[in-house]
A and B are shown apart, each in its own frame.
Chain A
């Protein structure tokens, strides 16, 4: 049975893992060198001196837009986030940009993705950072503008790398959702229902690709055994196209069911589908088929030797 991961199950996501070697590659690409690391280390005293006011200004901007203000419901939370923001800001000039740094940045990205901060605010925040730090860095290096410029470029590189990691986690989280949802669709779209003691119905809807057929076959066989049903109705009313591969899958499924000692009636075979199957040269002669589910149910009752008898409604009787 495939593993089930419901939407409510908030697993701690590891989406967007970036391997250390990949991280080194990214740094090489933007040209982040050990010189840059050193320049950032030299910026540390400047960062410490300005961290408080940069963070204050940063949140002033965030609080002046309703979309971003919504994330800071109360004072306590705001203060907590400010403290974390300060950590982040100081982290930029930490001086160590190895694996620990990478992990920390990825986790920050995931947290923001999880709380639902849209990328435009998140990316915008980096821009605000640049605006707030640029003049301060230049002022601090007024005596050596050439170094100030290099320091600023180093800061730009590391912030760009941070941004990249954030984007990576956002995209990965989105992909994870898509994968999870498509697995869920596969599962919910192949139900097998017991409609009567001894009769299960599998209404197929949509297109039957290989993955779905596999799931469907497993589920059908399981349910037949579980419910000890001698008859299974496989209804293809909701399948728009049956090509040779779909037909082959259906025939294989039917053969597998027979091996369990049960019988299959293929129902919902519309005239257009029937004609197409003939044109394709697909041989369904060994398989019992009916045009409607109702007709198939009648076959099932016959096979089980059950009779449906019209009678007066209870209570109408004397």
Chain B
């Protein structure tokens, strides 16, 4: 089932990035995030889906609504069965890129979101989970 606040999208082509961003925008909007936060979340999602597309080829993005102690949030998970990340600390460094990119995607996503976890095993794949909490008005 894919509704606004919960769902899953397969990532295989560059145009799937557009679909993924749209889904995340829909979820973040309907959770009542501010315009700036929506932009942040969508940009982080764009980075992480692009990494799947670029390094693993295919994967999935899942998202769902969070609730903890009265605050609402959004969790996004990006999972692939790609080559994995050997040195996560290095990958998280601003400016490190194995592909001639800016090397700002992972560290940027971490700054754009409130929480981020990376689990990766070389040869097995990578799962990145990020969360953003809605600021109380």
A binds B: yes
Interface residues on chain A, size class: 20 to 34
Listed by A's residue number, 25 A-B pairs whose Cβ atoms lie within 8 Å are A207-B17, A207-B18, A207-B21, A209-B18, A211-B14, A240-B21, A241-B43, A242-B43, A243-B43, A244-B108, A245-B50, A245-B101, A248-B102, A275-B40, A276-B36, A276-B39, A276-B40, A276-B112, A279-B43, A279-B111, A279-B112, A280-B108, A281-B94, A281-B107, A281-B108
Closest to A278 in B: B111
B interface residues (Cβ-Cβ under 8 A, vs A):
14-15, 17-18, 21, 25, 35-36, 38-40, 42-43, 46-47, 50, 94, 101-102, 104-105, 107-108, 111-112
What is the bound-complex CA distance between A272 and B41, given in angstroms? 11
What is the bound-complex CA distance between A13 and B15, given in angstroms? 26
Is the Cβ of A272 less than 8 Å from the Cβ of B36?
A: yes
| Further 15 A-B residue pairs, CB within 8 A, beyond A241-B46, A244-B105, A276-B36 | A207-B17, A209-B14, A209-B17, A209-B18, A241-B21, A243-B105, A272-B40, A276-B39, A279-B40, A279-B43, A280-B47, A280-B104, A280-B112, A281-B104, A282-B104
A63, CB-defined interface residue at 8 Å: no
Chain B CB count within 10 A is highest, among A271, A273, A281, for: A281
Is the Cβ of A273 less than 8 Å from the Cβ of B107?
A: no
Closest to B97 in A: A244
Is the Cβ of B50 less than 8 Å from the Cβ of A243?
A: yes
Is the Cβ of A241 less than 8 Å from the Cβ of B102?
A: no
A79, CB-defined interface residue at 8 Å: no
Provide the residues of chain B in CB contact with A248, threshold 8 Å.
101-102
A interface residues (Cβ-Cβ under 8 A, vs B):
207, 209-211, 240-245, 247-248, 271-273, 275-276, 279-282
What is the bound-complex CA distance between A266 and B82, given in angstroms? 36
Is the Cβ of A210 less than 8 Å from the Cβ of B14?
A: yes
Provide the residues of chain A in CB contact with B105, threshold 8 Å.
243-244
Q: Shortest beta-carbon distance, A125 to chain B, in Å?
A: 36
Provide the residues of chain A in CB contact with B35, threshold 8 Å.
272
Provide the residues of chain B in CB contact with A245, threshold 8 Å.
50, 101-102
What is the bound-complex CA distance between A280 and B47, given in angstroms? 10
- Cβ-defined partner of B46 (8 Å) among A210, A243, A279, A282: A243
Provide the residues of chain A in CB contact with B107, threshold 8 Å.
281
Provide the residues of chain B in CB contact with A207, threshold 8 Å.
17-18, 21
Closest A-B pairs by Cβ, 4 of them: A280-B108, A272-B39, A243-B46, A272-B36
What is the bound-complex CA distance between A247 and B108, given in angstroms? 13
Chain A CB count within 10 A is highest, among B25, B47, B94, B104, for: B104
Provide the residues of chain B in CB contact with A247, threshold 8 Å.
102
Is the Cβ of A241 less than 8 Å from the Cβ of B108?
A: no
Closest to B14 in A: A209
Is the Cβ of A241 less than 8 Å from the Cβ of B14?
A: no
What is the bound-complex CA distance between A312 and B18, given in angstroms? 49
Provide the residues of chain B in CB contact with A281, threshold 8 Å.
94, 104, 107-108, 111
Q: Shortest beta-carbon distance, A134 to chain B, in Å?
A: 44
Q: Shortest beta-carbon distance, A186 to chain B, in Å?
A: 12
Q: Shortest beta-carbon distance, A268 to chain B, in Å?
A: 14
Using known A-B contacts A210-B14, A281-B108, determine if residue A275 contacts B36 with beta carbons closer than 8 Å: yes
- Cβ-defined partner of B42 (8 Å) among A210, A240, A244, A280: A240
Provide the residues of chain A in CB contact with B38, threshold 8 Å.
272
Provide the residues of chain A in CB contact with B104, threshold 8 Å.
244, 280-282
Provide the residues of chain A in CB contact with B39, threshold 8 Å.
241, 272-273, 275-276
Provide the residues of chain B in CB contact with A244, threshold 8 Å.
47, 101-102, 104-105, 108
Provide the residues of chain A in CB contact with B25, threshold 8 Å.
240
Closest to B25 in A: A240
What is the bound-complex CA distance between A248 and B102, given in angstroms? 7
Is the Cβ of B17 less than 8 Å from the Cβ of A280?
A: no
What is the bound-complex CA distance between A7 and B13, given in angstroms? 26
Provide the residues of chain B in CB contact with A243, threshold 8 Å.
43, 46-47, 50, 105
Q: Shortest beta-carbon distance, B49 to chain A, in Å?
A: 9
- Cβ-defined partner of B43 (8 Å) among A209, A210, A271, A276: A276
